[in-house]
Structure 1
Amino acid sequence: MAGTGPVEAVAFDYGGVLTTPVADSLARWRTTSRIDAQSFTACMRAWIGRKAEPDSPIHELETGRLGMTGFERALAARLLRTDGSRPEPAGMLADMFAGLRADEAMWELADELRARGTKVAILSNSWANTYPDRLHDGRFEPVVISGEVGLRKPDQAIYRLLCTRLGLPPERVAFVDDARPNVEGARRAGLHGIHHRDADTTRDALLSLLESGAAAGPTTSHPNEETRA
């Protein structure tokens, strides 16, 4: 059983945490590209749902074993447009995430934590994304990108790698993600998991955790987080 102690580091997911919601960008892409919603939902359930096969194209993309072009072709072959035609694969990933914008309140939170003496890091599942230069400006250390290390959330190994690179045991690390399975994976690995919904409540949860000395142990929840059935 993991011990308790002060939290010394906070790791953030990138897309949907340091940016506007990924779902909003995907919704805009589906509208502008006339993607049939039912075909997209069925594909995502098959490839990234809780019962997805471990070698699904998304898992392969996130671990770097499948390149952008191969993934776009596989995705286009599964999707339909609203007129029944297949979408053009080239440029699909860039279009899917084109609507993401920085959530400046979350970047300010990262700076606030650093000013308190707390380490801040990144742990992101990459879909062959291009990350902004400011992610590598020294604010975050380490920056762990799934496709670069061959591991992905919520696999336990990537959380262990994060802690190793931080030089801290998991009970001294908090992890913030907008995807509940990734938060649950962090908790199973002994980290303090916080489910992100918006900057204000995540800030409150993190500051409460830091100021409490992590007395609650590694299963700290987001304020008002509902219990998953």
Structure 2
Amino acid sequence: MVTGVLIDWGGVLTTSMSDSIARWIEADRIDHDHYREVMTELVSQAYGGDRETVVHALERGELDGAAFERDLAARLLTLDGVPPEAEGLLERMFAGFDRVEVMYEMLRTARANGVKTCLLSNSWANTYPRDDWDEVFDAVVISGEVGMRKPEPRIFHHALGLVGLPGEACVFVDDIEANIVAARGLGIAGIHHRDPDTTLAQLETLLRLPLRRA
């Protein structure tokens, strides 16, 4: 029986990364096609490559946000053919994230029924809205704070240790497939998040709990 939920933040407890990025690209007049080329390479190396990149260093907290902003800005172009402003780049990229209330309600309901909950998030030197986290999480694991990142097995083991459960008793929810594959390799059930309704239905089946309001 599943009695623990490990869950990502950006794109799961918030609206999608692609929506936030689209707003930023329009506001900063970023060359969209060039951006996609740059980020496809960076992300594919970070989640499927065999060498260390600036994304690995950023997510583990080994590279600070300002340094990454300078690196990323130098790779990108605006529609005017010049790099975008580096300072505050990450804040602008993530400014379009909106909180998804039904996912927070799910966590509250799960906890009220004895399910352990743990945030498990790769950070990009971003600020998290933590106002009600004591109400929804038993534990919080943020990559830049613990020096580990998904999909490294050790960060999953760390999270499991904090909630005091074996992998077989937990489900992990994330919007990046490589992270789901890594979790399943450790015996953790995985839900590849695409939309709240589908994810909530899958969680209700695994947890054997009603998690949505009638």
Give the superposition deviation at 1:51. 4.4
Whole-angstrom distance in 1 between the partners of 2:102 and 2:139: 21
SS of structure 2 residue aligned to 1:134: coil
User: In structure 2, what is the equivalent of residue 109 of structure 1?
Assistant: 106
Which position in structure 2 is the counterpart of 1:134? 131
C-alpha distance in structure 2 between counterparts of 1:38 and 1:24, whole Å:
16
CA distance in 2, matches of 1:25, 1:9: 29
User: Structure 1, residues 137-188: CA drift from partner, whole Å, max 9, x if none?
Assistant: 2420210000011111111111111111111110111100111111111111
Matched with 1:9 is: 4
RMSD: 1.5
Runs of 4+, deviation exceeding 3 Å? 50-54
- Single out whichever of 115-124 and 52-61 deviates more from structure 2: 52-61
Q: Any residues of structure 2 matched to 1:2-81 within 5 Å, and which?
A: 6-49=1-44, 50-52=47-49, 54-81=51-78
Letter of the structure 1 residue corresponding to residue 33 of structure 2: Q
Question: Aligned letter for 1:116?
Answer: N
- In the alignment, the residues of structure 1 paired with residue 132 and residue 147 of structure 2 have an alpha-carbon distance, to the nearest angstrom, of 20
Q: Deviations over 1:183-205 (max 9, x none)?
A: 11111121110011122111110
Task: Kindly provide the amino acid, as one letter, of the partner of residue 183 in structure 1.
Answer: I
The aligned counterpart of 1:209 is 206
User: Where does structure 1 lack aligned partners over 5 or more consecutive residues?
Assistant: 1-5, 213-229
Amino acid at match of 2:199: T
1:13 offset after TM fit, Å? 0.3
Number of residue equivalences:
207
TM-score (normalised: structure 2): 0.92
**In structure 2, distance between residues paired with 1:11 and 1:207:** 15
Aligned partner of 2:212 in structure 1 is none
Question: Would the aligned equivalents of 1:45 and 1:52 in 2 still touch at CA under 8 Å?
Answer: no
Identify unmatched segments of 5+ residues in structure 2: 210-214
Q: Percent identity?
A: 47
1:166 is the counterpart of 2:159: no
Work out the CA distance in 2 between the residues paired with 1:144 and 1:133.
Answer: 13
Instruction: Encode CA deviations 1:82-101: one digit per residue, 9 max, x unaligned.
Output: 12111110000000000101
